[in-house]
Structure 1
Amino acid sequence: MDASILIQVVLLIVGFVFLIKGSDLFVDGASSIASLLKVPTIIVGLTIVALGTSAPEAAVSITSSLTGSNAMAVSNVIGSNMFNLLMVIGVSALLSELLMEKEVLNRDLPFLVGITLLFAAFIFISGEISSIEGIILLIIMIAYMFFLIRTTMKSGATQVEKPKLSAAKSIIYIIIGLAGIVLGGDLVVNSASDIAIAFGMSETLVGLTIVAIGTSLPEFVTSITALKKGENQLVIGNVIGSNIFNILFVLGASSAISAIPIDSSMLFDVILMVIVTIICFIFGKTQDKYDKKEGVILILLFVFYMGFAIWRNYFPF
């Protein structure tokens, strides 16, 4: 391997480390600040933690949008959502049966299907995600979070977690975490673009594969950890919540900064993401769970999709 390419690969890995560790520090610091301010634990989970796990995708997509790498901004979200639905749920279901919580099944999963269809409609109507449509996605996100918080508060879930850090240390964690996220996003976008050029890969392919999988590692690790602790229901909530924030927050913020035109070659990926989301909804609705058989189907779909994405890059049709 050429020395310059090797350097870019190392920088890409370093970028992922900065992204993941930065989001961890940010979540820890922000959660402790919230606890010091007596914010209920469940609200922290619904807001700070949810946004924190989507921080890597947000950093990459927003950086891509600012630098004009529009293909990577969108393909990162599509690839990340596909990885979450097919691999995170698939592998988790293969390891242990995943039961569906009533709220996730009847509220969050249908909502994910709805906003995925809305995202697809934006693209097929205008061929882009305009700044106005990005603002609409952000407004929907704020409304969704407000609804979750209001519903949770009405249920009486007001337990406040004991702060793990002092106020000063929390602020330091937040600052270092944000710096890591920003620096990591910049490293990932720049090094991934250079690798794509060196190997004749399109930005779309890099975004759908290397970058998407790398930025989805927090969700994957969180889900496997939850399985080991016997908290199987957290896996579904983690994946669905992450995908919702990827569309509403990541794409919303990226396109609000600058309209993102969508290349016609990505229309298949958008359609497939819609189909996969609906399949996961049907799997969950029919049995209120994901079992090993469905896990195998989801993993095979991901393998097929990755193979097709690579083949399409070198043998376009």
Structure 2
Amino acid sequence: MKLIYLVVMLVILSITSLFVGVSNVSPLDIFHLSEDQLEILMISRFPRLISILIAGMAMSIVGLIMQQLSRNKFVSPTTAGTMDSARLGILVALILFPAAGMLEKMAVAFVFALLGTFVFMKILDKIKFKDAIFIPLVGLMFGNIVGSITTFFAYKYNLIQSIGSWLHGDFSMIIKGRYELLYISIPAVILAYIFANRFTIAGMGEDFATNLGLNFKQVVNIGLVIVALVSSCVMLTVGSLPFLGLIIPNIVTIYQGDHLKKSLHHTALLGAVFVLICDIFGRVIIFPYEVSIGLTVGVIGSGIFLYLLIRRRAHGL
């Protein structure tokens, strides 16, 4: 798929997203907007669009980084315990620092997400049987253990409903003043582009990377910091977007190859396009009500994941 096609699709879907919703704002009204229509666009529709673009691009890119560093196409923040660890961090912040702001909660979630991802990578180093399917299963088991700890303490402190509803992926609550935390993801994405070639070399293995003069551990740690930072930002602002960081890098790899720097633009654009499609679909399927992005991405993403799994087995990969 050529880059220009993705750009055109992104522009068309972005414009469509601005004019889909319960409040009647038509493209024909754009040059003579009423005060109410202007407020809807500036307070709700534009912030929602920006958050969709940033979240879609950032989560797809960190999924690509994780797959490169772990050398496994079925590893992502969802299947490596990163999101579950970030969720535990948010719960700890709610219990210990109930009056803390979003930035403080994000800092705690970032620390837990980083620790969780680091533990998963350490577990990966100890595993000798590194089958393509076995590794993400280990990650899912690790994530479920962390999730069980989160659920236990959430029940104990009567926060299960709060944390469950708050962290479920949803763009309907995104308005001006409640999405700006996502801007922290932009420097992380830029850093990912700067270190893209190093991540590609690191993905060839520690011995190979060291022979080429690369500081393997430093590059891996930078990658883990990027993954944890983006995951915690998106988790706090939007909620969980299951399968996004898993399927988009796999789709891009099929037609673009494994060179990370060449794949970054395609991964970012396709991630944003996919989330936009899921969001628009969720807003029109039972109009005027809305299906949350966590559900639409999960259902569509799981179907694509099963296809990729069958395709990989069919080709003996």
TM-score category (smaller protein): 0.3 to 0.5
Q: TM-score, normalised by structure 2?
A: 0.32
Q: TM-score, normalised by structure 1?
A: 0.32
> Which structure ranks higher in relative contact order (CA pairs < 8 Å, sequence separation ≥ 6)?
1
Higher helix proportion, which one?
1
